[in-house]
Structure 1
Amino acid sequence: MKSRDAALDGVRALAALGVWLLHVGSNTGVMYRDGMYAWLMARLGIAVPIFFLLSGLLLYRPWARAVIENTARPRPLPYLWRRVLRVMPVYWLVTALALWAWSGLDWAGRLKWLLLLQNYFPGDPTPDGLYQMWTLPIEMAFYVTLPLLAWLLDRWARRGGNRPVRLLAGIAPLPLVSVASVMVARLGDRPEVGLWLPYHLVFFACGMAMAVLSVWLRESRVVDALAPQLLVLAFLLYALLSTGLAGPRELTLPTLGQSLFRLSLETAVAVLVVAPFALAPREGTLRHRLLGNPVTAYLGRISYSFFLWHAPVITLQLKLTGAQPFQGDFPSVAVVSLIVTLLLSVGSYHLVELTALRLSGRRRAPAPLPAAREAAPAAPAG
């Protein structure tokens, strides 16, 4: 159980580093150069679907267990209170500093950002150093929606028959909401829909389905036996994702076909990356030793702070060096931003995040990614 927890922490750590590398590459212009390396870097946004899938897996698992094993269901209000204390304090710290340093927004605009409402006002400018924060309103929308989804699935599954199967059947239609949202965004010329939960619901739904399987099957021998092949397949699909078939690298909007293709590939890659660790937690395997070592596990625990700090640090570094847009020095930006962000993340994790966890009623701070049998939800980091 401990190994599985550590390995999932390692997955989160690698995803957080992927987001950081994506933004170093974009701010220095490396991401927009010719060659496959640049394209592979441009698709490191795959970390976001992985984070969303992990949220669905970890947060829904107690509800899935309640249905399958007849255990107590989580109470919505304490659950939401823990979510707020887990996510908001360090978010307020980083966002308030960035708004104070670089934002020209009025008090109403600043309030939108502090309340995670920025995605619902697409015409407002994005302050410097906060361009990565678009994922958090989506996460928070899922947090708020999950108790209702879980209640509906609970009632559906308890009507009779095989409860795990009925849960999976109830989750199955949720990806269609994402498909419909993509169609609205592209055919209706409504790009702001891409900043809302329905557009990304497929990733959360896959995590919820994986939560059901992790409770139902405990450990899948098939997934364990095929884990190396699944991870290789994930890389091959990521390489396919890193082509023009999935849309442009620039801010130009993709076509409907490109958007659906990208959504499908991102879903497949996220599932293939997480499944070997969530559904086959066999201690001692190479994959667990690589991602479950103390270094990567600790990086996974501080990954939320790392995600919040890395963009303001990159922004400050570029401003201090006077670098022109998309023309910064990649090696120096990468090295300095990584070191500074890690130091800030360690500080905010221990001083802010753990303090908030204690206020939420937890006697000891769990790792952001819990073990299979004792799910404890984690903060977002993507």
Structure 2
Amino acid sequence: MKRDGALDGIRALAALGVWVLHVAGNTGVMYREGMFAWMTTRLGVAVPIFFLLSGLLLYRPWVRALLEDSPAPRPGLYLWRRVFRVMPAYWVVTFLALLAWSSMDWTGWAKWLLLLQNYTEQDRAPDGLYQMWTMPIEMAFYLVLPLLAWLLHQWARRGNRPVRLLAGIAVLPVISVASVIVSHAADEPEMALWLPHHLIYFAAGMAMAVLSVWRKEIKAIDALAPQLLVLALLLYVVLSTELAGPRTLTLPDVGQSLWRMGLEASVAILLVAPFALAPRHDSLRHRVLGNPVTAYLGRISYSFFLWHAPVITLYYKVTGTQPFTGDFVQVAILTFVGTMLVSVASYHLIEENALRLSRRGSAPAPPPDAPAAKEAAPVR
């Protein structure tokens, strides 16, 4: 399927947002006074944007299968490709960070290499891996999606299929709200690291997938696109206030958690909707976000996300700079250049080759009477 340059551009913005968040955290900028400090604190909204894009792009083939009677994805093949898409680069970064800066025993290594870090007692993340808490959540969604799609499609087969799909998807945000309430009532903050807490963001993307296949293009979204993007910015400003909780490591109360969840979901939806539901590629918004530079940054954004924290950590180790100190601009420039260089190499050497292997390994076998099955093809 052809890539959407504008959605890649959004992915690039999200990756840059996570990087700025961690530069601001390491330099201590986010703990200072002023609006800039507060707004850097809330750049974690990039994670809900990533989750929404996953829901949109991964669920859309299943929606097409139901609404357009096209072939449905094969769960085994889908999972095979997901593993090859995310794990090789993750393993390389995690292995190198653990080797360089961790004294864990083999159980700790196994926990991190197998994406189990969110399901055990929560200790301080190893140096260079503090961004990896999102990966078990993503992988959990990948594993659940085939079953979730099957359940939704069984529910939607009778009556108005798109409407019933949307009604079924609407249950998922309720699960997220319940997860917030239960985690506070039971005093179990680690539940915020599990998939149910974040289903609201994936569900928003899944709903967009339904709308994008059902309606193709929503003219009202196209007409209101500038206003929606401005509204996303304004809600982000609201998200940057105490309404969404403290900007320190102090845990928010249940009300602040729910406000933050709602505001983050709203910002993500308002940002992505003009591109996913009104994909007019001649529009200014698509030309800005879908230009070759931002589209390429979006393609390498996964490697950028994986590598930026080790690069920031390496800068602090090499220079001897103390945590929560350092010049924001200097750290930002040097770590951006370093992360870009290693991300380009990681994308082309690891990600692209892993994807090629996944396609080769998942190629359908020839029928028994095909010539290739009777004699080996010559090596070329």
TM-score when scaled to structure 2? 0.93
Match of 2:10, SS state, is helix
CA–CA separation in structure 2 for the residues paired with 1:321 and 1:345: 22
Show the counterpart of 1:239. 237
Show the counterpart of 1:358. 356
Query: Which blocks of at least 5 consecutive residues in structure 1 are unaligned?
Result: 364-382
Show the counterpart of 2:94. 95
Deviation at 1:362, TM superposition (A): 6.8
- Does residue 221 (structure 1) correspond to residue 209 (structure 2)? The answer is no
CA–CA separation in structure 2 for the residues paired with 1:61 and 1:13: 21
Show the counterpart of 1:188. 186
Match of 1:361, SS state, is helix
CA–CA separation in structure 2 for the residues paired with 1:41 and 1:9: 22
For residue 293 of structure 1, the aligned residue among 291, 294, 297 is 291
Could you report, residue by residue, the CA deviation over 1:103-141 in whole angstroms, capped at 9, with x for unpaired residues?
111001111100000001133441100000000000000
Q: What pairs up with 1:31-46 in 2 under 5 angstroms?
A: 31-46=30-45
Show the counterpart of 2:22. 23
- Does residue 334 (structure 1) correspond to residue 320 (structure 2)? The answer is no
Show the counterpart of 2:83. 84
Rg larger in 1 or in 2?
Answer: 2
Show the counterpart of 2:171. 173
| Alignment root-mean-square deviation, CA | 1.2
Contact 2:275 2:286 in 1 (8 A): yes
Show the counterpart of 1:163. 161
Taking CA–CA contacts closer than 8 Å with sequence separation of 6 or more, which of the two structures ends up with the larger relative contact order? Answer: 1
Show the counterpart of 1:65. 64
Match of 1:165, SS state, is helix
Show the counterpart of 1:151. 150
Show the counterpart of 2:365. none
Match of 2:249, SS state, is coil
CA–CA separation in structure 2 for the residues paired with 1:103 and 1:319: 13
Deviation at 1:90, TM superposition (A): 0.5
Match of 2:150, SS state, is helix
Could you report, residue by residue, the CA deviation over 1:314-361 in whole angstroms, capped at 9, with x for unpaired residues?
001011111111012211110110001000000010000000110111
CA–CA separation in structure 2 for the residues paired with 1:283 and 1:146: 29
CA–CA separation in structure 1 for the residues paired with 2:54 and 2:332: 28
For residue 319 of structure 2, the aligned residue among 313, 318, 321 is 321
Deviation at 1:248, TM superposition (A): 0.3
Could you report, residue by residue, the CA deviation over 1:189-242 in whole angstroms, capped at 9, with x for unpaired residues?
111000000000000001000000000011110100000000000000000000
Instruction: Indicate the percent of aligned positions where both proteins have the same amino acid.
Output: 72
Show the counterpart of 1:306. 304
Q: Give the stretch that moved more between structures: 334-343 or 115-124.
A: 115-124
Find runs of 4+ consecutive structure 1 residues off by over 2 angstroms.
Answer: 122-125
One-letter code aligned to 1:234? A
Match of 1:318, SS state, is helix
Show the counterpart of 1:206. 204
Query: Which blocks of at least 5 consecutive residues in structure 2 are unaligned?
Result: 362-380
Q: What pairs up with 1:254-269 in 2 under 5 angstroms?
A: 254-269=252-267
Contact 2:225 2:274 in 1 (8 A): yes
Show the counterpart of 1:75. 74
CA–CA separation in structure 2 for the residues paired with 1:122 and 1:177: 23
CA–CA separation in structure 1 for the residues paired with 2:136 and 2:204: 19
